[in-house]
């Protein structure tokens, strides 16, 4: 499977890739009608165009297929929707067309656009009319949203933002620098699901009779029956019996998986994500968090120390972690970013104990949290 493939559900007949649903496009305006061909089918599938002038001050302009062409809102202010002819005039099957309006197509000016196509598991646009009462709004994302942006189109109201990191009890305002605040009149203290999201009574999200648009971005936890994980309570572990597969030797290898910590690492207990044999022996290895840091230990020595532990920075969030040996370089990756590397030409694999431990070490250090999709690849540096 291509690493760029966007999985849109079991049984999909046509593979959908990131290039099919998202585009970043830079251009220089001509002042004349201009077709932007970015390969995104907006006329058939629908979506959003987020537009910004780059060489001088100008508001961010947002256009979407649910509201229609020429209808713009600005992400950096509270103004209501306006309709200005000769702005974005057509949604096409391969992009969009710009008119001659000077606010969007001044000759010689440079612009950036970000286009997001509607697609299950990626992005959705929803419009609704407010009723002033607690309610749910249906959406077609077919997954739990990670973020929702809501704008009152009829009145001057600040944008409201739901984000999974602060939960539905809190909200952010997109167009100000205010901190998140606790208020149940925004999202009714109710987390969104794969089919609906909740709004409460605030005029910014549900003023009776006003029109609204909501932009939904995927990123919430999966509710699929196949999205299973192992939940460790700090008193258990999984042990895979020793085999030659766990004797990595001096070759390339990869250990990767998803982890979510539910115990802050500033506690007095070290917690192991995984261990190869006994880390106190020559080829033994241990990846663990402790005292605000993330460590890779080999032969009873911390060979990599990551001072800012990502599990504390994103507490109770799923993180993808990979430890990779490529040649003589061992690297710890978190969510695709190489955090730290060390040179090691030695052998990996404990000659006296090649057990592989998940959620603990050979001597304890049990993990408190969840683990999913752990994979061990001997002979290949999957990520470089």
pTM: 0.68
The more confidently predicted of residues 13 and 197 is 197
- Most trustworthy range by pLDDT among 148-162, 238-252, 262-276: 148-162
> Judging by beta carbons within 10 Å of its beta carbon (0-12, 13-18, 19+), is residue 173 exposed, middle or buried?
middle
pLDDT at 3: 32
- Check whether 168 has a pLDDT greater than 80: yes
Which tokens is 89 given? 């005039």
DSSP assignment of 198-226 equals EE-S-HHHH-TT-EEEEEEEE-SPP--TT
Q: What is the mean pLDDT of residues 201-208?
A: 98
Q: What share of the chain is helix, strand, coil (3-state, %, to 5)?
A: 5, 45, 50
Region 211-218: mean pLDDT is 98
How far, CA to CA in Å, does 155 sit from each of 148, 186, 187? 19, 16, 19
Residues in Cβ contact with 203 at an 8 Å cutoff, skipping those fewer than 6 apart: 130, 152, 155, 157, 210
What mean pLDDT, rounded, does the chain reach? 91
Angle made by CA atoms 138, 319, 360, in degrees to the nearest 5: 130
pLDDT (0 to 100) of residue 248: 93
Q: Is 231 helix (H, G, I), strand (E, B) or coil?
A: strand
pLDDT at 245 over 50: yes
What confidence score (pLDDT) does residue 61 get? 98
Report the percent of the chain where pLDDT is more than 70: 95
DSSP-derived 3-state class of residue 21:
helix
| Burial track 286-302 (b if 16+ CB lie within 10 A, e otherwise) | bbbbbeebbbbbbbeee
**Residues 36-40: what's their mean pLDDT?**
97
pLDDT of residue 10: 38
For residue 264, pLDDT beyond 90:
no
For the residues 193-205, what does the mean pLDDT come to?
97
Q: Residue 52: is its pLDDT beyond 90?
A: yes
Average pLDDT, integer, range 242-256: 93
Report all structural domains of the chain as residue ranges with CATH numbers, in order of start.
Answer: 5-117 (no CATH), 123-218 (no CATH), 230-378 (2.60.120.200)
Q: Is the pLDDT of residue 11 over 60?
A: no
pLDDT range class, residue 2, cuts 50, 70, 90: very low
How crowded is the C-beta side of 73, counted as CA atoms within 13 Å?
Answer: 29
Q: Are 115 and 46 in contact (CB under 8 A)?
A: no
Per residue in 109-161, pLDDT (tens digit) is 999 999 999 999 999 999 999 999 999 999 999 999 999 999 999 999 999 99
Confidence check: pLDDT of 198 > 70? yes
Read off the pLDDT of residues 83-117 as tens digits, 9 standing for 90 and up: 999 999 999 999 999 999 999 999 999 999 999 99
Q: Provide the pLDDT for residue 235.
A: 83
Measure the CA–CA gap between 157 and 247, rounded to whole angstroms: 61
As a whole number of angstroms, the distance between CA 102 and CA 25 comes to 19
Which residues are paired to 74 by β-bridges?
A: 61
User: What pLDDT was estimated at residue 354?
Assistant: 86
**Token pair 């286009």 is at which residue?**
115
Q: What is the pLDDT of residue 64?
A: 98
Query: Vertex 4, ends 19 and 370: CA angle to 5°?
Result: 135
pLDDT at 49 over 70: yes
pLDDT score at 5: 35
């Amino acid at each position: 499977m291509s690493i760029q493939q966007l999985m849109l559900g079991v049984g999909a007949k046509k593979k959908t890739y990131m290039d099919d649903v998202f585009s970043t496009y830079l251009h220089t305006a001509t002042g004349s009608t201009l077709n932007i061909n970015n390969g995104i089918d907006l006329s058939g599938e629908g979506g959003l165009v987020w537009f910004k002038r780059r060489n001088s001050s100008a508001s961010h302009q947002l256009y979407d297929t649910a509201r229609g062409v020429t209808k713009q809102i600005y992400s950096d202010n509270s103004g209501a929707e306006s309709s200005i002819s000769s702005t974005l005039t057509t949604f096409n099957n391969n992009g969009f067309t710009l008119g001659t309006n000077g606010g969007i197509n001044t000759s010689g000016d440079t612009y950036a656009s970000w286009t997001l196509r509607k697609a299950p598991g990626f992005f959705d646009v929803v419009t609704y009319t407010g009723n002033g009462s607690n309610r749910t709004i249906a959406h077609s994302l077919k997954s739990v949203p990670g973020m929702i942006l809501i704008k009152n189109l009829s009145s001057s109201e600040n944008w409201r933002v739901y984000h999974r990191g602060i939960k539905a009890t809190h909200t952010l305002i997109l167009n100000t620098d205010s901190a998140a605040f606790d208020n149940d009149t925004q999202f009714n203290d109710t987390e969104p699901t794969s089919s609906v999201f909740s709004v409460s009574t605030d005029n910014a999200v549900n003023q009776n009779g006003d029109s609204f648009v909501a932009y939904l971005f995927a990123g919430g936890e999966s509710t699929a029956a196949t999205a299973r994980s192992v939940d460790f309570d700090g008193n258990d572990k999984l042990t895979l019996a020793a085999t030659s597969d766990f004797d990595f030797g001096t070759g390339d290898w990869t250990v990767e998986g998803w982890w979510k910590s539910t115990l802050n690492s500033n506690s007095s207990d070290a917690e192991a994500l995984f261990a190869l044999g006994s880390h106190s022996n020559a080829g033994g290895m241990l990846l663990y968090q402790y005292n605000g840091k993330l460590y890779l230990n080999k032969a009873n020595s911390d060979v990599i120390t990551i001072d800012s532990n990502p599990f504390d920075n994103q507490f109770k969030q799923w993180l993808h972690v990979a430890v990779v040996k490529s040649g003589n370089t061992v690297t710890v990756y978190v969510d695709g970013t190489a955090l730290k590397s060390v040179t090691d030409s030695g052998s990996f694999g404990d000659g006296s104990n090649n057990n592989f431990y998940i959620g603990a070490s050979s001597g304890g250090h049990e993990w408190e949290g969840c683990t999913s999709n752990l994979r061990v690849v001997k002979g290949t540096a999957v990520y470089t």
